[in-house]
Amino acid sequence: MTIEVRPLGADAWHQAFTMMELSFGETWPQDAADVERARFEPDRSIGAFVGDTLAGHAAIYSFTMTVPGPRSLDVAGVSLVGVLPTHRRRGVLTALMRHQLHDLHESGREPVAVLTASEPAIYGRYGYGCATQWVYAEVNRAKRAMRPVPGSDEVTVRYADPEKSLDVCAGVRDAIVPTRPGYVRHNEPWRRGEIADPESERGGASALRCVLAERDGEVTGFAYYRSKANWEPGGPNGTTIVQRVHATDTASYAALWRFLTDQDLMSKTTHRRLSLDDPLLSWLRDPRAAMVTVRDGMWARLVDVRRALSERRYTTPLDVVLEVRDDLCPWNAGRWHLAGDGSGASCGRVDREPDLVLDVADLGAAYFGRPVLAALGAAGLVEERTPGSLAATSRAFTSEVLPLLDTPF
C-alpha cells in the first residue's frame, strides 16, 4: 500500500472534521466543532492519502509554552490525529508522525513537539515520553475542612460575567504562566475558547460560571466552574465541576478553593487537571477528603535535541555526555555534551564516552522538569555509565514545581 502525506490545503477543516468523526467513532456536535475550528491552523494540517482516499490526518497548534528557567519556548502542539478504521494497522500513523517530525526539523521550526494521547501506549514508539501528569480530584464536602492560610480571610470572592471579565481573567493567567513549566501562553482564539460554553459539552450541568478573587480592590484570581444538581431521596447530592482556578498569590488561591469546596446543595467538588503538588491537597486537614486518580497528561518529543536542551535551564549545574537513541529522527542519535545551570545552557555533538545512555522518549519525559530520570534509571531504562551521573542529571532536569499542562488540546 502506497501512502502519500501532504498538506490538506484550503479545505483542511472539512476534511479533518470528517476524518475525526470516523476515526473516533463519534458525531462532533456543531457547537463544539465551532470552538475547535476557531483555533484550527489549516496551513499546519496534513493528510495521509492512499490513492484518492484520506486515510489519516494530523494537525499542529502553534504554542508558546513555559519550560524550566523559566523560559518561553515555541512548541508544536500535535492534535487531531486520526486514522480511518478501514486503514488501521497499515502504517498510516507512522507515515504521518515521520512526515510531521521530519518537516519540523527541516523547516527549523519548533524544537519540541507535545500532545495529549487518546491511547497513550501508541506514542512511545514515536519518541514521545510522558512529561506531565494530571490529577483528577474529587473533594468530599463533608470532609473538606482546610488548614488556615494567612491572608485568605482578607480576600473577597464575587460572581462575574465570563464574557465581560475575560480580559481581567486572561491577565491573571498571563501573570502566572511563567510560574510553572507546561503552561501555554494563550493567543486570542485560545483565550476565547476558555469561556466557550457549548451546551453539548455541559453534560447536564449549568452554564459556565465565573468568580473573581479580590484584595484591596484588585482582582487577584478567578475560577471557572459549573454546578450539577442531583436531587435524591436522602437529600441534595450535587457536584461542583471546576474547570480552571488561577491566582497571583497563595491567599487568593486558597480563598477560591474554600468557596468552590463549600457550595450549598453540592456534596462534592471535582477538578480534572490538578498537579500532584497543588496546594489544595496540602490544605485539606483530612488527606482522604480528596479521592485522587493520577493519569498521564502531556507527552513531549524532542524534535531537535541540541536546540531543545540548550533552550531550557537547569536547577543545579550540569556537565554530562548523553548518548541518545532515536530511530525515527536519526539526526538526534549519538552523543551530546550538555552543560548548563540556571543562567544558560549549551549542547553540542561530542566524540567522548557517554555518562548516560537513554532513549529520546526518556528525554521527553524529563524535559519539562518532571522528576523521572532517576526512576527510569532504577527501572533499567536509562543506563548509567559514569557513577553518580544519573542522580546529578536527574536533579538538574527537575523543576522546582511539577510541570503541568493546564490547557488540554
Q: Is 259 a catalytic residue?
A: no
Nearest Cα to Cα of residue 84 among 76, 67, 73, 96: 96
Phi, psi of 275 (to 5 degrees): -95, 155
Q: Residue 190 carries which side chain, given as an amino acid letter?
A: W
Residue 118 marked ligand-binding? yes
Cell numbers for 354, please give them.
557517554
Q: How far apart are CA 341 and CA 305, in angstroms?
A: 17
* Catalytic residue (choose from 128, 222, 253, 409): 409
Residue 81 marked ligand-binding? yes
Q: How far apart are CA 181 and CA 71, in angstroms?
A: 9
Cell numbers for 248, please give them.
497571583
Residue 226 marked ligand-binding? no
Cβ neighbours, 10 Å, residue 385: 13
* Catalytic residue (choose from 123, 222, 253, 367): 123
Residue 89 marked ligand-binding? yes
DSSP 8-state assignment for residue 143: G
Residue 82 marked ligand-binding? yes
Q: Residue 76 carries which side chain, given as an amino acid letter?
A: A
Residue 315 marked ligand-binding? no
Residue 400 marked ligand-binding? no
Q: How far apart are CA 17 and CA 5, in angstroms?
A: 18
Cell numbers for 18, please give them.
470528517
Collapsing DSSP states into helix, strand and coil, what is residue 219? strand
Instruction: Compute the chain's Rg from CA coordinates.
Output: 23
Phi, psi of 164 (to 5 degrees): -70, -25
Residue 90 marked ligand-binding? yes
Residue 275 marked ligand-binding? no
Q: Is 397 a catalytic residue?
A: no
Residue with cell 457549548: 198
What percentage of the chain's residues is helix, strand, coil (to nearest 5)? 35, 35, 35
Cell numbers for 153, please give them.
480571610
Q: How far apart are CA 378 and CA 238, in angstroms?
A: 44
Q: Residue 218 is inside which H or E element, if any? A: strand 218-228
Both ends of the chain: CA-CA distance in Å?
31
Residue 380 burial (C-beta neighbours within 10 Å; 0-12, 13-18, 19+): exposed
**Could you tell me which residues are annotated as the binding site for acetyl-CoA?**
81-83, 89-94, 118-119
Binding-site annotation, residues = 81-83, 89-94, 118-119
Give the catalytic positions in this structure.
123, 409
